[in-house]
Amino acid sequence: MKILSEEIRKENIFFINPDVKRGIGVEEILPNYHIICCNFDPIVPILRKQGAKIFCLAEKITEDSLDYFNNTGRLLENQAVLDYINRHSYGTKPKIVFFKPSVKIDILLKRYGFEAIGNRAELNESFENKTSFHELINKYCPQNAIPSKIGILSKMDYETLADSYGRSLVVQFGHGWAGKTTFFISRKEDFIKLTSTFPKTKVKIGKKIDGFTVLNNCVIYNKNILISSPAIQLSGISKLHPNSSVTCGRQWPVKFLSDSQLESIRELSEKIGLLMSEKGFKGFFGLDFIVDRKTGEIFISENNARLTASSGFYAKLELGLKKTPLLLYHIASFLGIEIPIEPVNGGNISGSQVIFRKEVKIPIISSKINYGIYSVNSNTIIKVRKDGYRPYNLKRDEFIYLKGEGKRKSGDLEYSRIETKMNVLKSPGMLADWLDKLIPIESGHSKKDINL
């Protein structure tokens, strides 16, 4: 990464999200970058020790009040948050980064006179909504569209759909998070039950592809489409979550794709990026693809037309290779700041995130431990140190353990996570041996080490 210009270093930038982890990524290279969060996280004091500027509302109000502010729009309305922003803007216009656009955020930023680092909700909706995005793909990339039908759920007939797509169907709502509104239906009675629960919902219903999901991070910067190497998504792993459609992390590199498949993903990403750019979209977006296990065909699944769940962690991996993070290009695209465009070839990127969306007691890790760095060494796992969050400094046999907020009620519930440079999958849907043995089928008792 080349030395950053003083122009971007002097900007007062505030990343606002209930979860502090959403804002991690470039805080160590931008001196006036602030993270504003709602919920306290064990990683907050660790980041602060490294110099990160973090305002955590949980330290200012009672716990009973936190649920109300567990939303970026409401967090942005809080007077203590506004006071912090104005106090640290030093008379300049605050620049606000947000994870996912919303109409409320658009209204508040206009009201306060703050500058948005992110697209408006209407533009996001035109690409992120699964039903409208499928219609776009059907028009411009029909050979890569999953055979599907769009319609109101109560007006759809299971037998008619089964005749077209087979008896195993995938039902997706226009919106959702981490696979929570994706349903795999293989029986008529299950379809009827879903229809009676959500009769007026517009859905995409299509063929279930026997495959695995890969994803990438992309940025539209000055009309250029910057594209990361793809990662494989962690899903269908019962030790992480019983629902096979729920997303539980990702791994770079994929290792299960041919050069031609990788090139196809790159070309499709560029084509979609250009379509988005023509509509005025700027900055970050991420695409999900399904790879057919038998034929190797690539199908375009979803467009996360915003920052992605991996954008911050991926930025850390990029910094480890001394590359300019895509997250920085995202910020620069909205500020109108020129930074050199570097080759984005992420073939050397190596790193994994594992998200536990159910409570898992790992024998080696005490229930009292909130954060730690561990080493897989000589068939045992040992704790090597506690402080310091710099994933790019991990050795090849180390992983970070971070406890999450198991009490949260939101759809992206996270009990804990593991981050590492090691591979966490040995094949799609199958954990690597070291991780599989680390996680018991049933919770065990805490102990100092565990033999692998």
Domain boundaries for CATH 3.30.470.20 within the chain: 211-438
CB neighbours of residue 43 within 10 Å? 20
pLDDT digits (tens, 9 = 90+) for 175-196: 765 446 888 899 999 999 999 9
Strands 95-98 and 13-16: parallel
CA angle 399, 404, 408 (to 5 degrees): 160
Phi, psi of 159 (to 5 degrees): -65, -40
382: its two tokens: 């040992």
Question: What is the topology classification, in CATH, of domain 6-117?
Answer: Rossmann fold (3.40.50)
Residues 216, 298: Cα–Cα separation, whole Å:
14
Strands 283-292 and 224-227: unpaired
Phi, psi of 259 (to 5 degrees): -60, -40
- Whole-number pLDDT of residue 217: 97
Low-confidence ranges of the chain (pLDDT < 70): 1-2, 176-180, 344-347, 378-380, 386, 405-412, 441-452
- Burial, 35: exposed, middle or buried (Cβ in 10 Å; 0-12, 13-18, 19+)? buried
Q: Are 228 and 346 in contact (CB under 8 A)?
A: yes
Domain boundaries for CATH 3.30.1490.20 within the chain: 147-207
- Whole-number pLDDT of residue 384: 75
Domain boundaries for CATH 3.40.50 within the chain: 6-117
Residues 384, 340: Cα–Cα separation, whole Å:
38
Q: How does DSSP assign 58-127, residue by residue? A: GGTS-HHHHGGG-SHHHHHH-HHHHHHHHHTTTTSPPEEEESS--HHHHHHHHHHTPEEES--HHHHHHH
Give strand pairing partners of 214. 232, 289
Strands 224-227 and 202-207: unpaired
Query: Is domain 211-438 annotated with CATH 3.30.70.3420?
Result: no
Strand order of the β-sheet with 95-98 is 53-56, 33-37, 13-16, 95-98, 115-117
- Please name the CATH architecture into which domain 147-207 falls: 2-Layer Sandwich (3.30)
- Whole-number pLDDT of residue 357: 82
Beta strands in 222-319 (DSSP E): 224-227, 231-233, 249-252, 283-292, 298-304
- Whole-number pLDDT of residue 449: 33
- Whole-number pLDDT of residue 175: 75
Give Cα 445 to chain centroid, integer Å: 31
Residues 277, 299: Cα–Cα separation, whole Å:
22
